[in-house]
Structure 1
Amino acid sequence: MSGVDLTDIDGIDENTALKIVSEIGLDMSRWPSAKHFASWLGLCPGTKISGGKVLNRKTKRLPGAAATAFRLAAYALANSKSALGAYYRRMRSKLGAPKAITATAHKLARLVYSMLKHGSQYVDEGQEYFEQRYRERVLKTLKQKAKDMGFTLTPVETAVG
C-alpha cells in the first residue's frame, strides 16, 4: 500500500506499521524534513533557553498513537542483534532506559520518514557494523584530542595467549 515494507526495520511488526501509517498517513509532504516529522511526533528534545542559559531539555509529552508505537518498537530492540539494537543498548548505557527509548524512537521515526518520502528500502548492516563504526569514531576523536595536545597515539600490540 505504501510502496515500501516498514516491517524490514527491526522492532516494527505488521501491527506497529499499520498503526503508524494509519496515524500519519502516506503523504510525507506535510513535513519539510525528518526533523520536522520527529518534532511533530514529540520525539525531539526540547531546548528552553533564556539569556543563554538552558532551562529545560525535556521532550514534549504529546498524546499520539504514532509516537507511542515508535516508543514500543524502540523498546522491542533491547535484545535485537541489529544495528538499531546496538544503538539502543549504547544509548541505554549512556543515558538510561527512558531517554534511550525516546532517542531510538526518534531514529526509527527518521527512518520511516525517509522510507515513505523517498521510497527507499531499509538495509540493516548488523550489530558488528555498528560497533566497528563506533570504535572508528572513538579512535578518530582520541587521535584528534592527542594531536591538539601535542601527542601522538600509537597502537599497542597485545599478545593473545
Structure 2
Amino acid sequence: MSELGHGFTRKFPSSKQFCCWCNIAPNTKISGGKRISSHVPHHQNNVGLIFRSITSSLANAKNQLGNFYRRIRSRAGGKAEVIATTHKVPEIFFAMVASQTPYNPEKVGIDEKVLLEKRITRYKRELERITGTHIEIGNTCVP
C-alpha cells in the first residue's frame, strides 16, 4: 500500500488498467488481425515486482491460487504460469481494495475436488466412447 498511495483505486477505472500499470499484463502487438509479438514489458515497477514475488511463493501453496498456479504450469509451463498467476493476484487485490471486502477464496477459482470430479467424468465419457459400453465406478453411472 505504501508503493501505491492512498486512493489508488480512483486512478484506475478497472483492474485490467491496474495490471497494465504494474507491468504484469502482456504487451500484445497486433497488426492486420495477426499477433506479431507478445511479451511482458522489460521496465520494472516496484508494485509489479512485489506481486511477482508473491506469485513465486504460490508454487507449493495448498490453496486455490496454488492450485491455479500448478494447473497453468502443467498446461502452459515456462513463464506462462508466472504471468497468469501474477496477473490474477493484483486483480484480486484491486477488487478487494476497491469494494472493501475481505479475501474470499471461493471466488478465486475452482476447487481441486471439483476439478478432479470433472476430470473423472470426462475420462469416463471418453472411455465409454472408445469401448462402447457403460462404465460404472462407485455409486455413479455415466449414461
Q: Give 1:45 deviation, angstroms.
A: 1.9
Higher strand share: 2
2:130 is aligned to none
Q: Whose relative contact order is higher, 1 or 2, with alpha carbons under 8 Å and at least 6 apart?
A: 1
Partner of 1:109: 90
TM-score (norm 1): 0.68
* Equivalent residue in structure 2 for 1:90, among 64, 71, 83: 71
Number of aligned residue pairs: 127
- Structure showing greater radius of gyration is 2
Superposition CA RMSD, Å: 3.0
Work out the CA distance in 2 between the residues paired with 1:36 and 1:82.
Answer: 27
Deviation per CA, 1:96-144, whole angstroms, max 9, x where unpaired? 142211211110000110111110110224xx9522454577799x7xx
139 and 54 in structure 1: CA distance in 2 versus 1, 3 angstrom threshold? farther
State the one-letter code of the partner of 1:80: A
For structure 1, the residue ranges without an aligned partner over 5 or more in a row are 1-20, 143-153
Encode CA deviations 1:42-70: one digit per residue, 9 max, x unaligned. 11122211112110111222311110110
CA shift in 2, pair 1:132/1:23, >3 Å: same
Give the 4+ runs in structure 1 shifted more than 3 A: 132-140
1:34 maps to a residue whose letter is S
Unaligned runs of 5+ in 2: 123-132
Aligned equivalent of 1:26: 6
Instruction: After superposition, give the CA deviation of every residue in 1:62-88 in whole Å (9 maximum; x if it has no partner).
Output: 311110110110110111110000000
TM-score calculated relative to the size of structure 2: 0.75
Partner amino acid for 1:81? Answer: K
The partner residue of 1:156 within 130, 135, 138 is 135
**Distance in 2 between residues matched to 1:155 and 1:108, nearest whole Å:** 42
